[in-house]
Structure 1
């Protein structure tokens, strides 16, 4: 089975989500702006990231046979995609945290906290969202079976549906770094991704394109436009809405694709994970360096540019090379040849996914 068609509009949606996370932290980096009470949409952006992850995993892998070979290749590919650049970010933040007189704003507190982050149990700054992502990758083979061969695993599907329902009824319990607190986002996204793979990749409907543009705006703003009906963000309601938005954007109707598949948003999407991990350190250091030299009205936009450049640099020097080396090493290693059960289980994932 060939590789599924790349969905350019989802690159742009990922880029938009990353930009919203950066915007959400502007008041943290510049305390003078915190008093303005600008809308903060970081939670909405991360919810979209989780749904996107579920969608792409099911879309890219759902049609592949579930064998020891494909599962091992999947796990190595996803680990190589996430962990090396995450570890570099943790080390950078630790260095900033212990630097004398720097007073870093999202510190890792001591060696014990550093070890917690290394083993994916930390929650400083944006790092809290990486553990549930990795835990989802470990859980995904169960979803893979359910979505790829639903008639063979009705009991497993029923159990999974019950777990999602109970999780929702309990209010997505547990610490935010654990998968149960975010499970519906991944599951609903995965269902949408599998349906997209089965139904076809595109629609030319102007109405779908309009919905794909308007629904994200409503999703990002409803808590501010309608504060009297705000149920809080994290829950089954926003998980379902996140998956619907990803599904609509993935149809790539021409009207919405002009925006989401545009070059600027796709560029942000390509560097989105590095931008997500490194934007606060980059903006913090930029503010510390430039605040005495330029007025704040110029420093603020400059910090955005510096954050983007730093993310691009990390993407091309750490994120992509580390991923390519680890996946290449795995495919050539005797460990892989001794564990996999067929030579046809190789999975290649587009670099932007």
Structure 2
């Protein structure tokens, strides 16, 4: 999706787009030991990327929709936008994986066969990176209830919001007792992101100095560096804790202002490209690296292996530009046209009127 110059700059949080791209790279690095026998960092760096994806996904929902009425018309537009953003590339990869795994290569890393094909088509599969898609899609549905209850509360009817929040707290309390493919297990990331997104316009008016934001960003990046150097070690399944969710929320808040020197550096084209390609990178990096490994190009590590990783990312970028974006845009246009026929008196829906915060959801979206 290309930038729409008709929108004001405030609708584009470019530094968060770069954060999304860097999170996608963390996921790529996390799969190198498994796919190529290479080890460039700690064993949990992919989980860090997924946590950021989920928080950014919630932020995007809150940022784009919590200021709008929860009417049938707006909810329909929301559902179309979310489905069009994630379904076309995801279903393409699922279908391709099914045919490759069942007809060509039974060792293909995306082991989608007749036993689990329907699960993946219905957004409930858990093979490899696809495990993060179900909680993402489930949260899209849960968000409608949160959105509706919040709008009722703003008009003085608070009971629905109280019930929703009590249910959310109860769900978060049992998050470590449900499967990872359930949104409940990651609800603390999504909800925190949604609240930050909904409050974003107000948060930007809070008198926080650029210097203080820069210091916070440096501390967060430094903490990531210390973690990647394995100076600190995190326990298994640490993402169930509330502290990592608060840190992910702090990352989203710190980089959502686009006014510090680091934000300016994050606006560099290569980092923006990574953000633009992040969903394709997330979906495709495992099979592409698998092909390189089978070709014997990533056995020794070193420069050749690094070059293969770069080529894999660029290949994902090509897919994003020439397949993902056109497919998503075409799906959105078709569904919007269908919606207009259902409500002939409604205002025409123009896909270009939706503010562009970040071009990718998935995983998030955080999604090893």
1:188 counterpart residue number:
192
Corresponding residue of 1:352: 359
Instruction: Tell me which residue corresponds to 2:92.
Output: 88
**Is the 1:210–1:255 contact (alpha carbons within 8 Å) kept by the matching residues of 2?**
no
User: What residue in structure 1 maps to residue 297 of structure 2?
Assistant: 291
1:220 positional shift: 7.3
Distance in 2 between the 1:199 and 1:18 partners? 26
Give the corresponding residue for 2:325.
Answer: 320
Match of 1:8 among 7, 14, 22: 14
SS in 2 for 1:63: coil
2:169 is aligned, of 165, 169, 177, to 165
The structure-2 alpha-carbon separation of the partners of 1:230 and 1:207, relative to structure 1 and needing over 3 Å to count, comes to: farther
The Cα of 1:150 is off from its aligned counterpart by 3.8
In structure 2, the partner of 1:74 is 78
Q: Could you tell me how far 1:222 is from its partner in structure 2? A: 5.3
- Greater shift in the superposed pair: 220-229 or 57-66: 220-229
* TM score, norm. by length of structure 2: 0.84
Q: Return the offset for 1:204.
A: 5.3
2:341 to 329, 337, 340: 337
In the TM superposition, 1:64-143 aligns within 5 A as 64-98=68-102, 100=104, 103-108=107-112, 110-143=113-146
Match of 1:21 in 2: 27
Structure 1: segments with no counterpart, 5+ residues:
none
- Taking the aligned partners of 1:267 and 1:189, their CA distance within structure 2 comes to 23
Report deviation, 1:96.
3.5
Please report how far the alpha carbon of residue 314 of structure 1 lies from its aligned counterpart in structure 2 after TM superposition. Answer: 1.4
Q: Is the 8 A contact 1:219 1:241 kept in 2?
A: no
Range that drifts further, 74-83 or 57-66 = 57-66
Determine the C-alpha separation between the residues in 2 that align with 1:167 and 1:283.
Answer: 37
Check whether the contact 1:84–1:322 (CA below 8 A) recurs between aligned residues.
yes
Selected match of 1:197 from 177, 195, 201? 201
- Matching of residues 43-62 of structure 1 within 5 Å: 43-62=47-66
| CA separation of 1:149 and 1:28: change in aligned 2, threshold 3 A | same
Unaligned runs of 5+ in 2: 1-6, 361-368
**What is the Cα-based RMSD across aligned positions, in Å?**
2.8
Whether the aligned pair in 1 keeps the contact of 2:23 and 2:52 (CA below 8 Å) is yes
The equivalent position to 1:266 in structure 2, one of 266, 272, 278, is 272
Tell me, yes or no, if the aligned pair for 1:68 and 1:340 is still in contact at 8 Å: no
Distance 1:341 1:67 in 2: 15
Tell me which residue corresponds to 2:287.
Answer: 281
Tell me the equivalent position of 2:261: 255
Partner of 2:215: 210
Deviation at 1:302, TM superposition (A): 2.3
Moved more, 78-87 or 154-163: 154-163
Q: Which has the higher contact order (CA 8 A, sep 6+)?
A: 2
CA contact (8 A) 2:172 2:184 kept: no
- CA deviation string 1:1-43 (max 9, x = no partner): x876110111000001001000111101212x35x87443111
C-alpha distance in structure 1 between counterparts of 2:254 and 2:120, whole Å? 35
Match of residue 3 from structure 2: none
1:202-221: CA deviation from partner (whole Å, max 9, x where unpaired): 96511112212322542675
My pick for the range that moved more, 98-107 or 117-126, is: 98-107
CA contact (8 A) 1:69 1:340 kept: no
Whole-angstrom CA distance in 1 between matches of 2:235 and 2:43: 17
Distance 1:221 1:162, change over 3 A: farther
- State whether residues 113 and 122 of structure 1, in contact with CA within 8 Å, keep that contact through their aligned partners in structure 2: yes
Task: Count residues with an aligned counterpart.
Answer: 347
Q: Contact 1:173–1:180 at 8 Å: present in 2 too? A: no
